[in-house]
Amino acid sequence: MTDDKDVLRDVWFGRIPTCFTLYQDEITEREAEPYYLLLPRISYLTLVTDKVKKHFQKVMRQEEVSEIWFEYEGTPLKWHYPIGLLFDLHASNTALPWSITVHFKNFPEKDLLHCHSKDVIEAHFMACIKEADALKHKSQVINEMQKKDHKQLWMGLQNDKFEQFWAINRKLMEYPPEDSGFRYIPFRIYQATTERPFIQKLFRPIASGGQLHTLGDLLKDACPSAITPEDGEQKTQVMIHGIEPMLETPIQWLSEHMSYPDNFLHISIIPRPTD
Amino acid sequence: MSGSMAGEEDFFLEEQRFKQYCEEFIKHSQQIGDGWEWRTSKDLGDGYLSKTHFQVRNRNIPPDLKEKNNDNVEQTLLTHVEEPLDDSQVPGVCATEEVIRYEYHVLYSSSYQVPVLYFRACFLDGRPLTLDEIWKSVHACYQAHLLEGPWDTITQQEHPLLGQPFFVLHPCRTNEFMSSILTGSRKQNRDTNYIILWLSTVGPVVGLNLPLSYAKLAPAQNTNADSI
């Protein structure tokens, strides 16, 4: 039986084999070869694609290059969503490697946030962590930490250092001994088919009678369409980090072990493949 | 960490109360024609306040209009804005790109239990303004406010209901400054509309002004008398 700590490592070290291809209308001086990379599920596109950018810029003229952006089958990919979430939501039931198209022109202003520097990614990442702690601990734990601790969370993510990250993050996963869990669970539920980008609401991990709420309880409350009736056909999959956790799993456990580094559970509801 | 925790719960805005204050706010806006409306999202029924207004940048005022007094100039230019601008029909009027469309949304954050102001601006051809360009249109005295203001920063974020990029005043310290404003009015036993107090504080910094008549719903606070 795997130890709970092994789950933390499996989540951290998850990778997606990806093939980056330059958009055909980009103007190049030579033919652009595709670039292959193993992307960390827990990171962000603009944080881990410096090599991709350099590779394609080599075959382009300087003046043709402005802010890089990524697209999958016509859909601009939101760099501020973790890579694993983007893959689960858009491409989990397609063949590997994941084929992403790279653009340097016509930035889609209406769809994507700008990402002019690593500072923007850091600010976004830290904002998510702070919001998660507002839900879990009324911001008490994050506010008690020093700036250097905040920095260590970011550096751990940026440099892929599991131990460095978790040395601080474990404090964000604790709760007072008199409680059985966090105040509210930080989560977001995504469905590619809706205009609303995600569902997020207040949800307590412990019921008034003291029982642990499950993933199924959360879905029933926040997204009932994801849970089909017993006699009906299960038309959707509920996916976190590329797997379908059992609906009976306590949500407190999922929050502690399968959150992304931003401390949120990012849950995808996707169509079940028919084969 | 801010001072005493006792009583701080009072200043967190619960979602039902948010909706009630917004309803009051909308009613008054309709009475005075201030253009705010309540929008609900189709699937889950949560909603937000929304206002769109157009602003003309003064740089290209045609010479013959300069003679008229200021009020008329703005009125004339704004009237032109309502019809599609066609350069061949109206020679000498501002080029399309000088008209800016501002959009303001007030959403509720369940994570921080406070309202949050989202905004964006674009030229009529759809080109969005950068944050820098928006700053330039903010009155100079509020530019200084921003540096000392009770908010970490203004960042570009995804609108949680529309999924599009907007600029946001970060909400995590809203409770701090609202506490001091509300304590005073609570002591005087006044029923205060949180939304009006809050919006009259944060709005002007990003070019959003509330006409003085809103003060009827929220008794005037000394600190904000200048801003509304």
Q: Rounded mean pLDDT of chain B?
A: 73
For residue A268, how many other CB atoms are within 10 A of its CB? Answer: 26
Q: Say which of B1, B111, B127 has its CB closest to residue A131.
A: B111
Query: Position of tokens 């203001």?
Result: B149
Question: What domains appear along chain A, each with residue ranges and CATH number?
Answer: 15-103 (3.10.20.620), 117-174 (1.10.246.190), 178-274 (3.10.20.90)
Q: Give B66's pLDDT tier (boundaries 50, 70, 90).
A: very low
Say yes or no for a CB contact (<8 Å) between A110 and B165: yes
B170 has a chain A CB within 8 A of its CB: yes
Reported as type and span, the H/E element at residue B105 is strand B99-109
**Complex confidence, ipTM:** 0.92
B209: exposed, middle or buried (Cβ count in 10 Å: 0-12, 13-18, 19+): middle
B157 has a chain A CB within 8 A of its CB: yes
Residue of A nearest to B111 (CA): A135
Predicted local distance difference test score (pLDDT) of residue B79: 37
**Residues 6+ away with beta carbon under 8 Å from A38:** A15, A16, A17, A18
Is the pLDDT reported for residue A139 higher than 70? yes
Q: Cα–Cα distances in Å, from A214 out to A179, A219, A255, B110?
A: 17, 9, 11, 21
Active site residue B172: yes
Query: Backbone phi, then psi, for B115, in 5-degree steps?
Result: -80, 155
Say yes or no for a CB contact (<8 Å) between A143 and B1: yes
Is the pLDDT reported for residue B147 higher than 70? no
Is the pLDDT reported for residue A38 higher than 70? yes
CB B74 within 8 A of CB B102: no
Predicted local distance difference test score (pLDDT) of residue B104: 96
B162 has a chain A CB within 8 A of its CB: yes
Average pLDDT over residues A72-90: 98
Residue of B nearest to A183 (CA): B111
Length of chain A: 275
Contacts of B44 in chain A (CB under 8 A): 196, 199
B111 or B77, higher pLDDT = B111
Contacts of B163 in chain A (CB under 8 A): 111, 195-197
SS (H, E, C) chain A: CCCHHHHHHHHHCCEEEEEEEECCCCCECCCCCCEEEEEECCCCHHHHCHHHHHHHHCCECHHHCCCCEEEECCEECCCCCCHHHHHHHHCCCCCCCEEEEEECCCCCCCCCCCCCCHHHHHHHHHHHHHHHHHHHHCCHHHHHCCHHHHHHHHHHHHCCCHHHHHHHHHHHCCCCCCCCCCCCCCEEEECCCCCCCCECCCCCCECCCCCECEHHHHHHHHCHHHCCCCCCCCCEEEEECCECCCCCCEHHHHHHHCCCCCCCEEEEEEECCCC
Q: Give B188's pLDDT tier (boundaries 50, 70, 90).
A: low
Q: Say which of A113, A139, A201 has its CB closest to residue B158.
A: A113
Is the pLDDT reported for residue B20 higher than 80? yes
B62 has a chain A CB within 8 A of its CB: no
How many residue pairs bridge chain A and chain B with CB atoms within 8 Å of each other? 60
Q: Nearest CA to CA, how far is B179 from chain A (Å)? A: 16
Question: What domains appear along chain B, each with residue ranges and CATH number?
Answer: 15-57+97-214 (3.30.1460.50)
**This prediction's pTM:** 0.85
Q: Say which of B43, B155, B163 has its CB closest to residue A197.
A: B163
Average pLDDT over residues A34-38: 98
Q: Tell which residue, B12, B13, B24, has the closest CA to residue B49.
A: B24
Q: Nearest CA to CA, how far is A63 from chain B (Å)? A: 21
Query: What does the buried/exposed string (b/e) look like for B76-85 if buried means 16 or more CB atoms within 10 Å of the residue's CB?
Result: ebeeebeeeb
Q: What is the pLDDT of residues B40-56, one digit of tens each?
A: 987 777 899 999 988 88
Measured distance CA(B166)–CA(B157) in Å, rounded: 6
Q: What is the pLDDT of residues A230-247, one digit of tens each?
A: 556 788 999 999 999 999
Query: What does the buried/exposed string (b/e) look like for A194-232 if buried means 16 or more CB atoms within 10 Å of the residue's CB?
Result: bebbbbbbebbbbeeeeebbbbbbbbeebbeebbeeeee
Q: Give A78's pLDDT tier (boundaries 50, 70, 90).
A: very high
Say yes or no for a CB contact (<8 Å) between A196 and B1: no
A194 has a chain B CB within 8 A of its CB: yes
B32 has a chain A CB within 8 A of its CB: no
Interface of A with B in 54-83 (CB under 8 A): 78, 80
Strand positions, DSSP E, B11-83: 37-40, 47-56
Q: What is the pLDDT of residues A154-194, one digit of tens each?
A: 999 999 999 999 999 999 999 999 999 999 999 999 999 88
Predicted local distance difference test score (pLDDT) of residue A142: 97
